[in-house]
Amino acid sequence: MGGHGGDQGLAELAGQAREALVREIELSGAFAGDTRWREAFAAVPRHLFVPIYHVVGLGGYERRWGEHPDPAARERWLRGAYADEPLATRLRDGVLLSSSSQPSLMAAMLVALRPGDGDRVLEIGTGTGYNAALLAHRLGDENVVTIDLDPDITESARRHLDAAGHHPVVVTGDGARGVPEHAPYDRIIATCALPAIPGAWLTQCRAGGRIVTPFATGVAALDVRGPHHAEGRFLATPAYFVPLRGAPRPMAQPPHLAGLPRRARESELFRFLLALTRGSLDPEEACALWEREGMPTRERYGLTVGGERAWAWLDDPEGPYVWPLPESGRPLPGGG
C-alpha cells in the first residue's frame, strides 16, 4: 500500500474501507444521475491523498499520518481517510489552509458538473489532489487542469497524484483568474468558497458549458450561455468550504438574531438566506420573507451573472425577490 512497507493487512483494510465508503456515498443518493462516478470513487485510493490530517476534537486538531510507528495509529489514520467526512489536511499557524472535502459532497458536485467523455475541466482549488484524480480517472489526465495559489500545496498534490498514477496539469496561481493558457474548458469546478463568480471563469468556459462552485453556504450549478453570462440554481446540500486565498472574505453572517423566532435562529436554511443576501436584507426582513415563502429549500434559490452585474434570486431571476451581489465581470484581487 504505497509507502507503508508492503503492510498487507493495511492494504486489505484500505480496499475494504474504500468499498464501504463507496456504499455509503451510494446510499446517500449522491451518485444518482451519473453512476459512472461510482467507479471513479471505487478506483481512486483516497488514503494516498491524505497522508497527514487533523481531526477536530476537544483539544483542537489531532495529527495522524500513515507512517506512524504504531500499527494501531496507522489503522486509525486509514479508517479516518475513508470516512465520509471532510478532513483538514494542512494548517499554518493554526489556520486551515487546505482540506479534503466530504466524499459524498464531492460526488454530488461531480454529478452536477455533468461532464461528457472528452470534456476539458478546470478545477479551482487543488487541495490534496484527490478531486483532480477522480476527474482524471473519469476523463483522462489530458483533459484535467487544476490550480492552487500555494506552491507547497500544488507540489504535494503532484506527489499524491503521481503515487495514484495520475498526471493532470497542476498549476500554481490565482484560481480567480483561471488558467487561460489551457482554455477553453467545457466545465469548471471550484472546491473553495468565493464572494463572487470571477469573470475570467466565464470567458474561459465555452458557451453551453457548466460551472459548479461553492457560494454562500451552498453549491451553485451554473449553465454558461456566453462569455459574460451564466445562470443556475443551487444544489440541495449545504456546503462549507475553505475560502479561496487571495480573494476578499465573504461577509460574516449578521450576529444579532436573538429577537427572531427560534425556528429561524436554529434553521440552517435561514442562515443560508442570510449568507446569500449579504446584508441586502436585515435579519428581520429576511425572516419575514423566509416565513412568507414557506421556508424555501436551497433548490429554489439561484444566481445570475450578466456582464458586470450579478444577482441572487428566489424562484425566478426576474421575479420579485432578487438581491445584488458583488460585481463578477472583473478579476478578484489576489496573487498571481
Both 277 and 143 in one domain: the answer is: no
Query: What residue type is assigned to position 93 of the chain?
Result: D
Mean pLDDT on 272-300: 94
3-state secondary structure of 224: strand
Tell me which of 173, 200, 232 is where a domain ends: 173
In DSSP notation, 6-25 reads T-HHHHHHHHHHHHHHHHHH
β-bridge partners, 212: 189, 221
Kindly list the distances between the CA atom of residue 336 and the CA atoms of 29, 97, 121, 153, 276, in Å, as whole numbers in the listed order: 39, 18, 21, 15, 28
d(CA 135, CA 144): 7
Q: Is residue 210 part of a domain?
A: no
Q: Is residue 205 part of a domain?
A: no
Q: How many degrees, rounded to 5, is the angle at CA 296 between CA 294 and CA 301?
A: 145
Both 153 and 279 in one domain: the answer is: no
Q: Which domain holds residue 163?
A: 8-173
Q: Is residue 14 part of a domain?
A: yes
Cβ neighbours for 175, distance < 8 A, ≥ 6 positions apart = 124, 125, 147, 148, 149, 190, 192, 244
Mean pLDDT on 228-241: 93
Which one, of 15, 17, 48, lies nearest residue 157 by Cα? 48
Mean pLDDT on 41-69: 71
Q: What is the pLDDT of residues 119-137, one digit of tens each?
A: 999 999 999 999 999 999 9
Both 292 and 164 in one domain: the answer is: no
Both 144 and 280 in one domain: the answer is: no
Tell me which of 158, 173, 188 is where a domain ends: 173
Residue 33: pLDDT band with limits 50, 70, 90: confident
The three cell numbers locating residue 304: 445570475
d(CA 1, CA 45): 10
Q: Is residue 220 part of a domain?
A: no
Q: What is the pLDDT of residues 3-17, one digit of tens each?
A: 444 466 778 889 999
What does the pLDDT read at residue 91? 67
Q: Is residue 275 part of a domain?
A: yes
Q: Is residue 236 part of a domain?
A: no
d(CA 22, CA 38): 7
Both 136 and 285 in one domain: the answer is: no
Q: Is residue 303 part of a domain?
A: yes
Q: Is residue 292 part of a domain?
A: yes
H/E element, 73: helix 71-81
What does the pLDDT read at residue 305? 94
Both 153 and 297 in one domain: the answer is: no
What does the pLDDT read at residue 170? 98
Both 46 and 156 in one domain: the answer is: yes
Q: How many CB atoms lie within 10 A of CB 246?
A: 17
What does the pLDDT read at residue 55? 54
What does the pLDDT read at residue 335? 27
Both 29 and 129 in one domain: the answer is: yes
Phi, psi of 312 (to 5 degrees): -100, 155
d(CA 166, CA 181): 21
Tell me which of 173, 203, 223 is where a domain ends: 173
Q: Does residue 301 carry a pLDDT above 80?
A: yes
Kindly list the distances between the CA atom of residue 158 and the CA atoms of 33, 293, 300, in Å, as whole numbers in the listed order: 30, 47, 39
| Residues assigned a catalytic role | 98
Both 54 and 160 in one domain: the answer is: yes
Residue 332: pLDDT band with limits 50, 70, 90: very low
d(CA 272, CA 281): 12
Beta strands in the chain (DSSP E): 52-57, 60-65, 87-92, 95-100, 121-124, 144-148, 169-172, 185-190, 205-215, 218-226, 229-234, 301-306, 309-314, 322-324
Number of domains in the chain: 2
What does the pLDDT read at residue 155? 97
What does the pLDDT read at residue 66? 65
Provide the CATH number for the domain around residue 136: 3.40.50.150
Mean pLDDT on 92-119: 87
Q: What is the pLDDT of residues 187-197, one digit of tens each?
A: 999 998 888 89
Q: What is the pLDDT of residues 67-96, one digit of tens each?
A: 666 777 788 888 889 999 888 777 666 666
